[in-house]
Every structure is written in structure tokens, then in C-alpha cells.
Amino acid sequence: MSKGHYEKASVVIKALVQGTDPETGEPFPPDSVLNRSDVLRALLTASVAIENMMSRAARRAQLPSNVGRSWERTRRTHSLPLSSPATPSRPLPLGTAEPFEPSKPDWRNWV
């Protein structure tokens, strides 16, 4: 749905909640179905949902066009070398290096 459809639906629902005919503006009779509490709650819920949809559409319109697209679709044109002249060897796999043991401070000489 377009923005105009949401706006028109919002105007119609708000008129119904107020108890008036959306086209003529005349009030509905007191025994109308629109005076039931469950019908009014449903109309108010629909009004809030339409406002949320309109605000969500406004926020999404401000986002860049590529938001949400997968990175995998982009073509990889550059590849990183596995090693360079400065580091000719590859790093050791995780868990194969010697564990790091920090030196323990000698608290007796601390003043």
C-alpha cells in the first residue's frame, strides 16, 4: 500500500472512532454498532497499527537502498595474501602455542 492509502484509511478510522460518517460527517445514531466497546477498541487498534506502518515506512525511506542485502552477493575483487615478505610464516593454529603465564609480583618488596 502506498502512503496515500494509509493516510486515507487513518482519516476514515478516526472518523468512525469519533462516531461520524467519514463521507458526510454526520453523527451515527446512538444505537449504532460503532458505540460498542469492542468495536471501538478494534478501530483504535487499527488506527495505531496504521500509524506504526506509516512511521516505519518513513524511517525506511531514509535508509540507503542496499540496507538488508547480503554481503555475499557482492563480487569479491580483492583477496588478501596469506603471507607477506615481512611475515613469511603462517601463524600457529589456536591452542598449539605455549600458554601465557604472567609474572607474579613480589608483594614483600612493595612499599
Residue 66 is predicted with a pLDDT of 83
Q: What is the pLDDT of residues 10-40, one digit of tens each?
A: 999 999 999 999 999 999 998 999 889 999 9
Q: What is the pLDDT of residues 73-107, one digit of tens each?
A: 555 565 655 555 555 556 666 666 666 666 776 66
Whether residue 95 lies inside any domain: the answer is no
Contact 63, 40 (CB under 8 A): no
What is the distance between the alpha carbons of residues 12 and 21, in angstroms, rounded to a whole number? 8
Radius of gyration of the chain (CA): 33
Q: How many domains does the chain have?
A: 1
Whether residue 86 lies inside any domain: the answer is no
In this prediction, residue 51 has a pLDDT band, given cuts at 50, 70 and 90, of very high
Whether residue 89 lies inside any domain: the answer is no
Nearest to 19 by CA among 36, 4, 6, 7: 36
Whether residue 93 lies inside any domain: the answer is no
Contact 54, 7 (CB under 8 A): yes
Q: Which domain holds residue 38?
A: 3-61
Whether residue 83 lies inside any domain: the answer is no
Whether residue 25 lies inside any domain: the answer is yes
pTM over 0.75: no
CA angle (17 as vertex; 15, 18 as ends), nearest 5 = 65
